Structure 1
């Protein structure tokens, strides 16, 4: 991802927030057979305060990626969307795409079976927790044998990134009044490109910019 100083994200707390709120990631490996990409959910490692993530892949994706043997790239895609030139006013303009993205690179550590079970349990709790009647991993009708057989079909990993590239391209190069108009259009819901999550990211970024000015 090409970096631009105007759009760079470096604040660790903000990076952790983006990862936590967007856990469905793309994992990319450069293998002897060529580039390989897979899609899985990850979580921040609760024992760390940095950008370490934990997750799993299903077998045989571990072999396809050469997991644990070489560097992987994990792409975290935050809110993103089309920005119409009609939202800029009457002057000459072209469309663009606003987005938030974090790239994590490093060699992952393979987890033990028990560590992997703990990660799988946390993943289930994370996403089942908001359900009216959550189905926890260890609760009936699942039993211990079923859960452990399930674990054997997966490979858990922990990635402490050695390279991080993060970008927040959210109309930082536009005047305040144009930014406010874009946020209103994204919030309004009266176009096919309305996206309140992207509006919230823009609001968050520009509130920080405005606070730094004053």
Structure 2
């Protein structure tokens, strides 16, 4: 994560919300086969436990149970031109971004836990599609679900280290940061612009 203390983000409820809102990231683990990464959808089981699943054929799968892993998620990001600050010729370009790293111990789920995870994941995403009626697993032939469960493995990540970065130009004077945010908004980068406008 970014070493500058102005960009350190330690608001766990806000980090949880970002992970919930995006719901997808990269899970890294060191293995005897070398470093591995899997791109996974996630859902919170409780305040400190993420659930995810991977294909059993994924080379990371056989190494996860009992491993220490790192889940990384990226939020909005944008290039920032030094011209936008209005501070003169000695400014340089940068990239503003939001990122989260969650480190912890991984444990494998049984089939019942995997089904609960899949149901929770579908519910979390389906509720965002309202007024569309929510898709539920009971619409699918149980035999097909049983076959699907032989192809994936579910895991829990018990988070023990939280690292967040909010790099939003907090190291610049307010007027310069807001000018850059206005320029980003004009470029259509509204998510980053809104974050910069609300930065402290």
TM (norm. structure 1) is 0.84
Is 1:60 paired with 2:54? no
Match of 2:113 in 1: 115
Cα 1:200–1:51 change in 2 (3 A) is farther
The 5 Å alignment of 1:149-160 reads 149-160=147-158
- Structure with greater proportional strand content: 2
Deviation at 1:131, TM superposition (A): 6.0
For 1:165 and 1:65, the matched residues in 2 are separated by: 26
For 1:147 and 1:16, the matched residues in 2 are separated by: 29
Deviation at 1:132, TM superposition (A): 5.8
Which of 91, 94, 100 is equivalent to 1:96? Answer: 94
Is 1:136 paired with 2:130? no
Match of 2:190 in 1: 196
Runs (4 or more) in structure 1 with deviation over 3 Å come to 62-65, 131-135
Q: Does the aligned pair in 2 maintain the 1:36–1:65 contact within 8 Å?
A: no
Is 1:87 paired with 2:67? no
DSSP 3-state at the match of 1:107: strand
Q: Which moved more, 1:23-32 or 1:179-188?
A: 179-188
Deviation at 1:90, TM superposition (A): 5.1
DSSP 3-state at the match of 1:160: strand
Q: Which moved more, 1:61-70 or 1:24-33?
A: 61-70
Two-structure CA RMSD over aligned residues (Å): 1.9
The answer for unaligned runs of 5 or more in structure 2 is none
Cα 1:62–1:144 change in 2 (3 A) is farther
Deviation at 1:126, TM superposition (A): 2.3
* Greater relative contact order (CA < 8 Å, ≥ 6 in sequence): 2
The answer for unaligned runs of 5 or more in structure 1 is 210-214
Deviation at 1:2, TM superposition (A): 4.3
Match of 2:16 in 1: 16
Equivalent residues, number:
198
Cα 1:114–1:167 change in 2 (3 A) is same
Deviations 1:47-79 (A, max 9, x none): x2x332111111122655601132111101111
Match of 1:77 in 2: 74
Match of 1:30 in 2: 30
Cα 1:131–1:74 change in 2 (3 A) is same
